[in-house]
Structure 1
């Protein structure tokens, strides 16, 4: 078995990398996929979510295998998980270029979460440049997106002008995403009919098509 690897990367902190890693992990596990999560962020937020998941949901992780790794161990853990998983999601830190580059190089797809703000827009290009240099396909994902507004429209226009690869699926600015993580779950588990669930499912569908998965 050789898993598909998705690296979630963004130079700017607070873009929602960990939230997307956990939510997509649950979404794909719910489809019967064997999912591996690797946390290479020293902050360890994904590790904390997984510990809560083991306590409140399932001792075995609810269909998800978790590893915390960095540096030289990252490549080793990726190789190990590739033998037992269908999909591996790597949650990367904002400022650790060596580890991020290893994860980008080993990925089949780079997801770049971006809030619709000028700061996020400016911070996104270096990650896309890294993905291009490592010859790994990338996809920008709008996250924490307000329902409407002039700023959102302006950022969308700038993205189009820059010809960035942008996902059709958009994740809204919804409390449900964070609330589910507090329970060690994904929103698909905690609130199956919520709009947030529809959004994460749409993103998972889009990724699956891109990866031929």
Structure 2
């Protein structure tokens, strides 16, 4: 039985896509349900840089993950191949055109779309969600970098529901802990396991598990 492919996609840059992909992969690995692979389809290579830093920090045999890269239509083939030997495959996609993201979205069991709670981000997100819909792939929004003030977030939650989009109830706050952990090749679950950021990620994974 093939593993699950989770593609993180968002055509708008600066959404926290790579941070979400890395944290999701490590969280899944720590659940102990099987091997986890990450696939970097983004030519910027941010996820690859994070993984190299992780190898330097923890040692090549202690990352808990398998890392691969692919581009274009090769992303679908590579994701499917990894899924044969891994419980989960987490794919990080480029913030570019439909052609760049389509193969990874087509291969996915679920697409996670990180979004900051602003109208501009919601407008940009529509294109990614429509692409997933055309590929018949379920997609869900993930609120990321959520500020402490709740007014705008509530407004955006209502707007998302009005559009008929689905969003996870669990949210990731605008916390420096996420960026700081990424710079070390780690995640907040490893650098500050009792912190608020780690608790948010745990809640997100628990909710996500019900959809898988």
Q: TM-score normalized by structure 1? A: 0.95
Please state how far the C-alpha of 1:71 moved relative to its aligned partner: 1.7
Q: C-alpha distance in 2, partners of 1:74/1:102?
A: 6
1:108 aligns with 2:109: yes
Residue of structure 1 in register with 2:53 after alignment = 52
| Cα distance per residue 1:16-66 (max 9 Å; x no partner) | 110000011111111113111011111100000000000101313521101
Q: C-alpha distance in 1, partners of 2:130/2:92?
A: 19
| Cα distance per residue 1:99-125 (max 9 Å; x no partner) | 311111110001010001111010111
Please state how far the C-alpha of 1:74 moved relative to its aligned partner: 1.5
Please state how far the C-alpha of 1:68 moved relative to its aligned partner: 1.2
Q: What's the C-alpha RMSD, in Å, of the aligned pairs? A: 1.2
Number of paired residues? 211
Please state how far the C-alpha of 1:205 moved relative to its aligned partner: 1.2
Please state how far the C-alpha of 1:171 moved relative to its aligned partner: 0.5
Say which SS state the counterpart of residue 90 (structure 1) adopts. strand
Residue of structure 2 in register with 1:207 after alignment = 208
Please state how far the C-alpha of 1:89 moved relative to its aligned partner: 0.6
Say which SS state the counterpart of residue 111 (structure 2) adopts. strand
Q: C-alpha distance in 2, partners of 1:128/1:80?
A: 25
Query: For structure 1, which segment, 65-74 or 5-14, has the greater mean C-alpha deviation from structure 2 after superposition?
Result: 65-74
1:89 aligns with 2:72: no
Residue of structure 2 in register with 1:23 after alignment = 23
Query: For structure 1, which segment, 181-190 or 45-54, has the greater mean C-alpha deviation from structure 2 after superposition?
Result: 181-190
Q: TM-score normalized by structure 2? A: 0.95
What residue ranges of structure 2 are gaps of 5+ in the alignment?
Answer: none
Say which SS state the counterpart of residue 159 (structure 1) adopts. helix
Please state how far the C-alpha of 1:87 moved relative to its aligned partner: 0.3
Q: C-alpha distance in 1, partners of 2:109/2:207?
A: 14
Q: C-alpha distance in 2, partners of 1:48/1:182?
A: 9
Please state how far the C-alpha of 1:152 moved relative to its aligned partner: 2.1
Query: For structure 1, which segment, 42-51 or 52-61, has the greater mean C-alpha deviation from structure 2 after superposition?
Result: 52-61
Is the contact made by 1:50 and 1:61 (CA closer than 8 Å) also made in structure 2?
Answer: no
Q: C-alpha distance in 2, partners of 1:96/1:48?
A: 23
Say which SS state the counterpart of residue 37 (structure 2) adopts. strand
Residue of structure 2 in register with 1:157 after alignment = 158
